[in-house]
Each structure stands twice: as C-alpha cells, then as structure tokens.
Chains A and B, each alone.
Chain A
Amino acid sequence: MNQNGNNQGCAEFQARLPELIGSGEDMSVNPHIQSCELCRALLADLESIAEAARQLFPIVEPPDNLWEQIESAIRDEEKSGKKK
C-alpha cells in the first residue's frame, strides 16, 4: 500500500483526472487508485464535493414584482427609442 504517494505515478494520474472524472470509467479498478492511498483519498474528496454540490443553492423563485419592473423598463426603452 502506498500511503505517501509515488511522485511520478501520482503526477501522471492526477494530470489525467480532469478527463477521468465524469468519464463513466470505473475508477476503482484503476491500477494507480488501487495502489495509492493519497490519490484514492483525493478522488473520494473530489467526488464528494461534486455530489454535495447538487444540494447547494436550491432553485429559487424571483419576487413577483420583478416582472413588473422588467416590463416597465422595456416600455421606457421603447418610448425613448433605445431599443436596438
């Protein structure tokens, strides 16, 4: 078990991570992941962050009066001939 990371192997693996993550590839069978605890932890953390992101900042409704403000601004633009 490699706990401290193998510089060369880690560098090569981490350089490929942006492509590997989300590719659908089963990362658990990746030889480097199987042998390197540090990269396994890194991958787990990045996947946790991506998973947690789905719960962030729920979709919210704008206030009801926003449309009135937009309508009013559109009318003003049309009256002043600024519409391009």
Chain B
Amino acid sequence: MLARAQSGDHQAFAELYSTHKRRIYSLCLRMVGNVAEAEDLTQEAFLQLHRKIATFRGDSAFSTWLHRLTINVVLMQLRKKGLSLISLDEAMEPVQDESPGRSFGAPDPTLTGAIDRLALERAVASLPAGYRLIFILHDVEGFEHNEIASMLDCSIGNSKSQLHKARLKLREALRTNQPLEAQS
C-alpha cells in the first residue's frame, strides 16, 4: 500500500489515511485541545504527507515518520498562535535549574488517592508545548524513548530527561491544584 501511494495511487493514499487517521487526529487533538483546530491540523498533516510521501525512504517506521511530520505541523501552528510555549528546540535544551532537589527538606505533600483524570488532563493541557508533546508521546501514546528521539531529533537521554521534567511539572500542578500558567 505504501509503495503504491508513493507512486501516486490515489486509492492507496486513501487507505493510508484510513489506517493512520485516528492516531494522527488524536495526537493533534491532544496537543491543541480543540476539535476544529485538530481537524485543520490533521488535514494539513495529510496534505503534507501527500506532497512528501515519495521522499520517504524507510529509514524509520512509516508511522514514526508520519508522527514526526505531524508534530512539525502542530508546532508550526502553535508558534503561529504565539501561545505560551516552550518550543521544541527549547524543550530539547538541557535545563540547568530544574532539579527537584531545590525543595529538599521542605514540606512535601504527596498526591493522595487516585489521580483525578480531569485534573490531570487540565494539567497536561497547561504544560508548555515541548513538555506536553513528550509526555503525550511517551506516557499517553506509548512510544518508546528511541522512537521519540527519532521523531524529535534529540538524544534518548534528552527524551528521558524532558519526560521526567514534564512529570515533575504535572505533579506540582496536581499538588497545588493550579494550572501551570497560574504558578510563578
């Protein structure tokens, strides 16, 4: 099917869309939280796929390549909107000052009981985009760090480090019950 789509077979491209539409649309929706915008982004991702599919050489799994393409579409849109976000590049930069150790010895209330799903979804939605992306790709979608590193052009260690920071930010938001943008 992929080879036929690459050679311009419209029916094969339609089959590719059918195979991947749920995951691509869901990724867009998880990143922007808005149905209409997620539809536009999904459309743009598949349009770009149609333009670029002949360039896919099989160096990675096709689904990884398509996710990477979609992520670029989503991040471009987020940058256009100028939303509060840590860009992907910024999120991939090593951050020196975010060791959780800075609160050693301080009172440290833990999350009690089961985590409320809606509260966690709100906290995820308020993460800077770079952290949100890594958290969604790994913890929600189930990609491995080596796949994420390939999608985002970063090291596996960087992917692990950024995921850890995303989880720490979520923990902080859940403990204080405040969206991240409301915190100093």
Where the two chains meet, the residues of A that have a C-beta atom closer than 8 Å to any C-beta of B are: 4-7, 10-11, 14-15, 17-19, 21-22, 38, 41-42, 44-46, 48-50, 52-63, 66-67, 69-71, 73-74, 77, 83-84
Known: A46-B168, A77-B47. A52 touches B104 (CB 8 A): no
Q: Which 3 pairs across A and B sit closest by C-beta, in order of nearness?
A: A53-B139, A18-B164, A62-B25
Is the CB–CB distance between B163 and A18 below 8 Å? yes
The answer for the CA separation of A74 and B17 in the assembled complex, in Å, is 13
What residues of chain A lie closer than 8 Å to B163, measured between beta carbons? 18
Q: Which residues of B contact A (CB under 8 A)?
A: 14, 17-18, 21-23, 25-26, 29-30, 38-39, 42-43, 46-47, 50-52, 99-101, 104-105, 108, 110-111, 114-115, 117, 120-121, 124, 135-136, 139-140, 142, 157, 160-161, 163-164, 167-168, 170-171, 174
- With contact pairs A62-B22, A73-B47 given, residues A54 and B108 touching in the complex (Cβ less than 8 Å): no
Contact status B39-A50, CB under 8 Å: no
Instruction: Add 15 more A-B contacts to A10-B101, A67-B18, A73-B47 (CB < 8 A).
Output: A18-B163, A21-B164, A22-B160, A49-B174, A50-B139, A56-B120, A57-B29, A57-B121, A57-B124, A58-B26, A66-B21, A66-B39, A67-B17, A74-B50, A77-B47
Residues of A near B168 (CB, < 8 A) are 46
